[in-house]
Every structure is written in C-alpha cells, then in structure tokens.
Chains A and B, each alone.
Chain A
C-alpha cells in the first residue's frame, strides 16, 4: 500500500462522507461542513496528483499545490459567505432550513 493509495482512499472516504452529509443532513450548517469535507477529499486528490508529477521525474510538481492553496482560499471564502447567510437567517428569527416553504406572501414580493 503506497502512500498515494492511502491518500486516495482517504480522499474517497472524505468525499463519500461529505456527500452523505450534504445530501441528507437537513441543517444548512451541517451541509456546509459536509461541503468542506468533500473539499478536503478533493484537495487530497490534488495532493496525489502532485506526487504523480514527482513520479514523472520532477522532485515534485508545484502546480497542484498552488491549486490546493487557491482551492482552500476559495472554499474558505465560500464557507464565510454561507456562514454569514446562515447567521442572517437565524438573526431574522427564521428556522434555518433550505425548505422554501411558501416563501411568498399572497400580495406578492417586491412591494416591500
């Protein structure tokens, strides 16, 4: 069992766990965490890719690592936006859920 395979399996496990959470957990915060799990799994795959670059003769391939860094920043930003939204939702005193449960009032929306 090479480290690459272990990392790959770990990545797959993370993605699987994340998928489960993202699809089935009702609370948006948990979905967000699940998304971050998937993200970590994907970054692990990037890590393996970097190792494969090493296998091609380079000492290591810096490009995937740069991508991981960028990806983490992006995922962090995404999580921040999502958390901000969730906070706002709970601040306006609404049950935090993704169910659209009749979002419109009978008199229409934009009048406000």
Chain B
C-alpha cells in the first residue's frame, strides 16, 4: 500500500491534466468536458487516504516539480475534490454549458486541486495561477456590463496578488542557501532569511487578496454575485481555500512570531466583523454569502495569527478543518439559493429547517459540522481577548446567517436560471452532507466525545441564539440601515484607479515629446554623456 500512495498523489494532479490534454483531441472535447466530474476522483481518494498518514513529499521525475501532502492539505483536498465531483456531475447531467465555460471550469478545477498538493514554489505558483485566472471565464464572458466589471476587478486583484506572491517566492528561494525550490526547504530557511519580514508581509497580502482581506475584499461580493450559482459555489467553497493553503504552507507556524501574529489576529478579527457588518446591510443573498466568506476567512486568519504568536505548529490541522468545514457549508449555501429559487414559493417546512441548520452550522450551531469547526479552533481562541472576539464573531455569523435566511425567504431571487435543475433532487443530500460530513473527518483532528459534553453544547448554543435574536431585532430597524454598494470599498478603489489612469495621458504627452526627432537626438547625446560621466 505504501507504494500505491505516491501514485495516487500523482494521479490526483495527473488525471485533471489528462482530461485537459484530452480536450485538445478533435471531437473528444464535448465528452471529456461532460465527464470531467470523474477527474477529481483520485484527488478525493488521495485526500481521504492522506488524512491519517504521515506527511508525504514526492519529487516528480524529469519536471523537477514536487508534490506534498500532509493531513491539513489532505483535508482540504478531499473536501475540494468532493465538491468539484458533485457540482460538475450535477451541471453536466442536465445541461451542456458551452466548451469555453467547460474548459474554464476544468482549468480552474485542475489548478484548485493541484494547489493543495503542490510541494515546490514554481508548481505552487503555477497551479495557484491556474486556480485563479481561468475562473474569470466562469462568469465574465458576457456582454453584461456588471459582469464585465466584476471580471475586470477580479482579474485586477488576482494579477496583483500573483505579483506580490511572485516577489515573495523569489525572496524565499533567494534566502535558501542551496537554491532549492522545495517549499519545506525554503520554509526551513525562512527564519534566518534577511528578507523574512518582507516575505511575510507579501505572503499575507498576496494570499489575503485571495481570501478577501480588507482592503482587498471588494472583488469577492462582486464576483459571487456575477457568477452563476455553481461557479459561485466552487469559487467560494474551494477557490478561496487556495488562499488558506497558501497561508498554511507559507506561514512559519512552528516559529513564535509575536509581531506578525498579533497583526494577523487584529487583521483577521477586523475582517471577521467587517464582513458581518457590511453583509447585514446587503439584500442580495449571494452578496450576503460573499460577505460571510470575508468574515469567515477573517476568523481563519485570526486563528493563524494566534498560532503564530504561540508558535503552534499543530494548529495547521485545526485551521485546516475549520476551512474544510467552511468549504462544504458555503458551497452548499450557494446551491441552496439556486435550489430554492427553482422550487419557487411552495416550500415545505422541512426544507426551511434544513436550510436554517445549514446556515447556522456556519455559526457553530451545536451538533452540526460548524460546531466541530469551532471546537477545533478552540485551542487557538482559548484565552482572554481572543476568546471574547471569537465568541463575538460567532454571534455575528449567526446574525449574518439569519439575515441570509430572511433574505432567502423574502426577497425574490433571479438565481433560478443560473442553477441547473439537477441540483434540486440532490440538494437535501448535499445540505445534510455539509452538516454531517465534518463529523466523519473530525477524528483525524481531535476527540469527538468532547462535542457532546453539556458545557460544550451550551457554549455553542447561546451565541447562536443571541445572534439569531439580534438579527430579528435588527430586521425591525432595517429601513434605518445605510445602503452600501456591493463590494463597499471597491467603489473607492475604482475611483482611485480611475485617477491613476489619468497618469496615462501624461505618459502619452511625455512619449509624444520624447518621440520628436530633436528630443530623441538630444536624449541620445545625453545618454552618451551620462554613461561617460558614470564610468569616469
């Protein structure tokens, strides 16, 4: 069996790549795209098998690439693969998206699965780019102005993030004395690297962009509201986790780093509350969920921050579990929007209860997967201010989720066309799975009996109840709340960007001046003189 595991690991990246290659065979494309739900199956198997194994690093021959799997990444890989399988299968079961969309989907899937197992800087960067850039095609190929805008903004943040990470990675490899690109090696060299602080700053900013960290949060609500339901589900579920795996891999978790840890905790909780506050004033369900993602990613960042402060290497698995839970629940919530829209007005009570359970699972309702996620990160948010802030954030999440449920029930949603009908019969299963599956994974993280203790149940229940209550009160004063444009700060950022574009015209004037004959001749003489002066 031990020999089989590396093969499985290679296959989890190789299978989607093989599907990609098959797309270029004439005549196969349509079938290959329709069958692409099969592509993540090895990844799922790898993820499940890797949960309980020792970390494995495998150097691919020839290419120089390295794959790496440890329990936290296995957890995320399994969750992501499951999500991709279910959603792809459901999409292609009852409609045939065009090839362009299908190819973007497959590319995003390949990158997204690969990024969890990439073990060296170059392949990580490659797969991270693959997980981010083709996703543009999932929502922005359109003549609709708002979608184009969302696409442009998504692309801008993605490329900016890539640039920051490129610099960080170049610094990482520059600090490694033997020039090895292996992530384990460069991370071992990081503590003594002369560029340590610059690297950490760039890493946090770069992956923070993917995770919707303020002030880079604006793209997320725009993207998710522009994306069709299944795309929003995988992007919010699996796509954003590329940022989480990035922090997992590139934060030196075993090393106590007070300054950076504290900064990350502050930033994380800021995002957590920011997401709740701005989500509560939104009415579009997809946008509310996007703000909830900003908030949840904030919690994850804060957990990383605490782990950094305390130097806990083991926190990776716990935070990974929290992220995996969010992966399942958030995707299921997006599908809920679509399914409820398709089914229209007459909905049974059971449907509502299931939707409510799912939503509140995110807030940590006892006996749901979310409660386990909260328990898993309890060690992080154990003492003092962090504990209070974490509880406050659960209350906030419960409020936001209640707000989401109210929006879901009241406001009409145009999501019916975006969501394949194939999700309708699947939905109860998906929702239950998202609530219960974390229980199956939890034994890899901690002791499950703790979740049933009386004290734990009470601890989990009261913030949720309080949050629900507050949200209901808030609904009374709803009309006094300010209306904030979707993506809040993005409006300011767009304005600033527009201002920046103004510089272009002065460049144009400068260029026109320099391109005049006499100016160019004089520049040539000046350059010659400057070179002479510099070398004498």
Contact = CB atoms under 8 A, between A and B. Distances in A.
Interface of A: 19, 22-24, 98, 100
Contact of A98 (B517, B522, B525): B517
Dominant secondary structure of chain B at its interface with chain A: helix
Interface in B334-375: none
B458 interface: no
Contacts of B521: 19, 22-23
Contacts of B506: none
Dominant secondary structure of chain A at its interface with chain B: helix
B535 interface: no
A43 B515 CA distance: 29
Interface string B517-536: 11001100100000000000
Contacts of B515: 100
Nearest to A24: B518
A108 B10 CA distance: 50
Most chain B beta-carbon neighbours within 10 Å: one of A19, A23, A98, A100: A23
A24 B518 CA distance: 6
A103 B517 CA distance: 16
Interface residues on B, range: under 10
What 10 A-B pairs have minimum CB-CB distances, sorted nearest first?
A23-B521, A23-B518, A98-B517, A22-B521, A24-B518, A23-B522, A19-B525, A100-B515, A23-B517, A19-B521
A22 B518 CA distance: 8
10 contacts: A19-B521, A19-B525, A22-B521, A23-B517, A23-B518, A23-B521, A23-B522, A24-B518, A98-B517, A100-B515
A18 to B, nearest CB: 11
Interface string B279-317: 000000000000000000000000000000000000000
Contacts of A22: 521
Nearest to A98: B517
Contacts of B522: 23
A24 B520 CA distance: 11
Nearest to A100: B515
Contacts of A23: 517-518, 521-522
Nearest to B516: A99
Interface string B496-528: 000000000000000000010110011001000
B408 to A, nearest CB: 51
Contacts of A98: 517
A24 B521 CA distance: 10
Contacts of A19: 521, 525
A60 to B, nearest CB: 30
Contacts of A24: 518
B488 to A, nearest CB: 41
A104 to B, nearest CB: 15
A22 B521 CA distance: 8
Nearest to A97: B517
B509 to A, nearest CB: 15
A19 B518 CA distance: 10
A86 to B, nearest CB: 15
Contacts of B525: 19
A98 B515 CA distance: 11
A98 B521 CA distance: 13
Nearest to B519: A23
A8 B521 CA distance: 23
A16 B521 CA distance: 13
B275 to A, nearest CB: 48
Nearest to A22: B521
Given A19-B525, A98-B517, 8 more contacts: A19-B521, A22-B521, A23-B517, A23-B518, A23-B521, A23-B522, A24-B518, A100-B515
A23 B525 CA distance: 11
Interface in B23-73: none
A23 B523 CA distance: 11
Contacts of B518: 23-24
A104 B99 CA distance: 38
A36 to B, nearest CB: 16
A22 B515 CA distance: 15
B525 to A, nearest CB: 8
B515 to A, nearest CB: 8
A36 B494 CA distance: 54
Most chain A beta-carbon neighbours within 10 Å: one of B518, B522, B525: B518
Contacts of B517: 23, 98
A24 B522 CA distance: 10
Interface in B121-164: none
Contacts of A100: 515
A11 B529 CA distance: 19
Nearest to A26: B517
A96 to B, nearest CB: 13
A31 to B, nearest CB: 8
A24 B517 CA distance: 9
A98 to B, nearest CB: 5
B529 to A, nearest CB: 13
A100 to B, nearest CB: 8
A45 to B, nearest CB: 16
A55 B60 CA distance: 67
B305 to A, nearest CB: 55
A53 B525 CA distance: 29
Most chain A beta-carbon neighbours within 10 Å: one of B515, B517, B518, B525: B517
A29 to B, nearest CB: 14
A33 to B, nearest CB: 15
A98 B522 CA distance: 16
